[in-house]
Amino acid sequence: MKFLAIIPARYASTRFPGKPLAVLGGKTVIQRVYEQVAAVLEAVVATDDQRIRDAVLAFGGRVEMTSAEHRSGTDRCREAFEKVCARTGEHYDVVINVQGDEPFIRASQLEAVMRCFDDPQTDIATLVKPFAESDGLAALENPNSPKVVLDSRSQALYFSRSVIPYLRGVPREEWLARHTFYKHIGLYAFRCEALRAVTELPQSTLEKAESLEQLRWLENGYRIGVGITDAETVGIDTPEDLERAEAWLRAGAIKH
């Protein structure tokens, strides 16, 4: 199978304007993401900002300019994917949407998602990490950290900001010791025909309720395969996150 990674990168951000161009360990965040991904598979940055485009070209990366009107990274991925195909004439089987604020994404995480497509019934794939007992109940109950339940074939049954499943008859403080809960990590991959189709779907009832785009796909019958990783992700959402990542990088706590 032929895979293409697309890295959406916007300059505008409420919590951290210009985040892709912030410097981390002597390189911009977007360069770090690109280099991590390009070491595993073909990669392209998708942006609506000329400054990001220029920065990517300056470090020798590939980039496609996309509309500023997209509602989501998935929509931006589709436009960039179609432009790459039109420009190169290449055929791809799967497009992987890699968040542009994950400068330490691991090869093992990308490979876990890619392996989901060994199952011909997988339309879309994503990644989860088991919650550890040491994470604590507050991390499990954090609504900003969506949870996932899987079936026996490691396909997603449901995503929720609530804790799922509910352990009836078990004190909440014992939940992490008594069950494996999965934290969703926002890495997505799509068969190319699925990418085109899901961007045409209207918002669904469950998606609106939980504000989780992937519920639209489940509601419309798409099978979402799930790769499992034990590697922690280090996303950059705020300037404070950047400072922490810089400290971890200097301390050697994160792989370059």
In a domain, 125, yes or no: yes
pTM: 0.92
- Tens digit of pLDDT for each residue in 182-231? 999 989 999 999 999 999 999 999 999 999 999 999 999 999 999 999 98
Let me know whether 123 and 85 are in one domain. Answer: no
What was the pLDDT predicted at 256?
45
pLDDT tier at 168 (50, 70, 90 boundaries)?
A: very high
In terms of residue numbers, what domain contains 141?
119-183+196-232
Let me know whether 202 and 168 are in one domain. Answer: yes
- Nearest 5°: phi and psi at 47? -140, 160
What was the pLDDT predicted at 127?
97
167-185: average pLDDT: 97
In a domain, 213, yes or no: yes
In a domain, 239, yes or no: no
Let me know whether 45 and 98 are in one domain. Answer: yes
In a domain, 48, yes or no: yes
What was the pLDDT predicted at 253?
56
- What's the total number of domains in the chain? 2
Let me know whether 137 and 228 are in one domain. Answer: yes
- Tens digit of pLDDT for each residue in 117-153? 999 999 999 999 999 999 999 999 999 899 999 999 9
Q: What is the Cα–Cα distance from 134 to 47, expressed in whole angstroms?
A: 38
User: Are 92 and 85 in contact, with CB atoms under 8 Å apart?
Assistant: yes
Let me know whether 149 and 82 are in one domain. Answer: no
In a domain, 58, yes or no: yes
Query: What's the mean per-residue pLDDT of the chain?
Result: 94
